[in-house]
Amino acid sequence: MINLHPDGANMNVWRHAFSRMGGEMVRFACRDMGMKCEYVVNGNNIQEIKQKAMKHAEEQHAEMLKAYDTPEKKVVMENALEHAIRML
Ligand SMILES: [Zn+2]
């Protein structure tokens, strides 16, 4: 029996695309935050990328992070970080 369900066909296309990308679906580049930095990281999801980007920022951009010293400013920075993340 031939499956003519359109969603079924779409899922096969997605599965193929994901397998070709090796599971790495999102990318963060420090320069997209306006930094003069060549740091780039790939990951499987936004949460993973945010953790890696924050670890990098704490290690390499500690001076910049000092400006975000309140919960409100941290939210602003995390939003900017999420906007800089690109889907591959
Ligand atoms: Zn950096």
Neighbours of 53 (CB within 10 A): 22
Average confidence score pLDDT of the chain: 84
H helical segments located in the chain = 6-20, 46-60, 62-65, 71-84
Q: How far is the CA of 1 from the centre of ligand 1 (A)?
A: 54
Task: Give the pLDDT of residue 63.
Answer: 92
Q: How far is the CA of 9 from the centre of ligand 1 (A)?
A: 41
The residue among 35 and 9 whose pLDDT is bigger is 35
Q: How far is the CA of 55 from the centre of ligand 1 (A)?
A: 10
Q: How far is the CA of 57 from the centre of ligand 1 (A)?
A: 6
Query: What is residue 70's three-state secondary structure?
Result: coil
80 contacts: CB under 8 Å, gap ≥ 6: 33
Contact present, 73 and 67 (Cβ < 8 Å): yes
| pLDDT, tens digit (0-9, with 9 covering 90-100), for 24-33 | 689 999 999 9
How remote is the C-alpha of 73 from its chain's centroid?
A: 20
Give the mean pLDDT of 46-66: 93
State the pTM of this model. Answer: 0.69
Contact present, 37 and 60 (Cβ < 8 Å): yes
